[in-house]
Amino acid sequence: MELVVIKNWVNLRQIQKSMKRFFLALAVLFSLSGQGNAHYKPGELKVGVSEIPPFVMFDGAQILGVSADLWRNIADSLKVQYTYVRFSNYLDLMEAVKQGNVDITINPVTLTDTRLHILRLSIPFYTSRLGLAERPSTNIPLITVFFSLLNWRTLQLIVMLFIVVFIFAIFIWLAERRKNPKEFRKNHRGISDGIWWAFVTMTTVGYGDKIPKTKLGRLLTLVWMLYAIALLFSFTAEISSELTVTKLQDGISSVDDLRKMKVGTLEQTGFASFCRINHITYTPFTDLKKGLDAIKEKQIEAFVGDVATLEYCFEKYKLGRGLEITPSSLNEQYFCFAANKRHQELIDEINPVMLNITESAEWVEIIYKNGIRQ
């Protein structure tokens, strides 16, 4: 039964991803329709690239990576000839595409409304997640847990627990105060005895110093024992959930957390746009390595980028020594190919081929072969 449920869930996720890509493709195609006459003529294309692992990587004379593999399949299908034009950084590459010095770039270009007007974008071929590279936390775990529990949600749980305990303490005191005055004393002292009895019973410590003697008191004890077990488990689960969420979201639980940090990112990328839109002050970099070095030199506290790129560089090139990556769901970017605005016809030919490839098992192999774990 569990396998069927898991299989159905996986199929549902695949359908959702396919639907999202389909509607994104429609949005791009409709937004680009009617934007001038096409000037693309079959021939040798100039394909601009700059290194951005694991999408585009330079290995001597070879161009490797996710985007390179995808482009080779597209070019073979369309039977187009091309030559690569290498650029030292992303900014120079994008300027060359705008000016028409290259026909198209296979570097991952973020889908934005601004770029739709100045470039010709393909349908998205990859959904990127935000990742944060930063120095490991030096906080003492016990102190971190203590302060993590100082929040409104935990306070609510504690207050609710005390209210329930107090109610049962009054009930047991009312049931026992006359026939068992030694263990459940008069006035407020008897209520404090009831509170002690409730906590000892709930935690199953069982000291035996408070033993109900009336039938009503014993019946109430039985009810409280059963109820307290469920209550304690629920309370423990809620506290564990709070600690887990705090751990997973440490440092980037919200956009406000990023606003409080000195962050950097690659200029003219979707993550730079994300920072500007959300009024996050950032330091622009033209190179990933420079951004990571800036963390080590304490010029910035964290570097915002594509989590797959950060993870690949950390593992493959050891760029992240002394750093750690925190993934986040705060922002998703849709990566496309970008062509000069004269080449609408080229993009129109690329889109259906790209869609067929990215919806096939071959695409999964390309993703995993290049070290991306989705």
Can you give the length of the chain in residues? 374
Residue 18: the pLDDT is 52
- In contact, 54 and 371? CB cutoff 8 Å: yes
Residue 4 has pLDDT above 60, yes or no: no
Q: What per-residue confidence (pLDDT) applies to 325?
A: 86
Higher pLDDT, 105 or 266: 105
Whether residue 43 has pLDDT greater than 90: no
Domains of the chain are 2-124+339-369 (3.40.190.10), 142-248 (1.10.287.70), 251-328 (3.40.190.10)
Evaluated on CA atoms 91, 64, 123, 23, the torsion sign reads negative
| 3 within 8 A of 9, measured Cβ to Cβ | no
Lowest-pLDDT choice from 105-119, 162-176, 239-253: 239-253
| Model confidence band, residue 64 (pLDDT cutoffs 50, 70, 90) | very high
Nearest 5°: the CA angle 252, 255, 261 is 65
What local confidence, expressed as pLDDT, does residue 72 receive?
96
Contacts of 268 (CB under 8 A, 6+ apart): 90, 91, 94
d(CA 56, CA 65): 5
User: Which pLDDT score is estimated for 145?
Assistant: 59
d(CA 154, CA 158): 6
Cα–Cα dist 310/314, whole Å:
6
Which among 9, 120, 96 is positioned nearest to 48, based on CA atoms? 96
Predicted TM-score (pTM) of the model is 0.60
Which range in 20-34, 35-49, 82-96, 180-194 is most confidently predicted, on average pLDDT? 82-96
pLDDT greater than 80 at residue 137: no
| pLDDT tens readout for residues 184-227 | 888 888 889 889 988 888 887 767 778 888 989 889 988 998 88
What does the pLDDT average to over 249-276? 81
Count other Cβ atoms within 10 Å, centred on residue 318: 8
% pLDDT > 90, the chain = 33
Average pLDDT along the chain? 81
Q: What is the pLDDT of residues 273-311, one digit of tens each?
A: 889 989 999 999 988 888 888 998 889 999 999 888 888
Asked if the model's pLDDT at residue 117 lies above 50, the reply is: yes
The pLDDT of residue 356: 94
Q: What is the pLDDT of residues 327-344, one digit of tens each?
A: 887 778 899 999 999 999
pLDDT band at 148 (very low <50, low <70, confident <90, very high): low
Query: What sign has the CA pseudo-torsion 13, 18, 19, 23?
Result: positive
